Structure 1
Amino acid sequence: MGSDGSVGDKLADQWRMMCPEHHHQLRDQQGPTVYCKRCNCAYRYADLVDKRETQPFAVVGRRD
Structure 2
Amino acid sequence: MVAVNRFDDDVAHPLEEIRQALALPEHVPMIDCDARVRASSKNVLITLVDHLRTMAIARETTP
How would you bin the TM-score normalised by the shorter chain? under 0.3
Q: Which of 1 and 2 has greater Rg?
A: 2
The TM-score normalised by the length of structure 1 is 0.26
Structure in which a larger fraction of residues adopt helix: 2
The TM-score normalised by the length of structure 2 is 0.26
Answer 1 or 2: higher relative contact order, Cα 8 Å, separation at least 6: 2
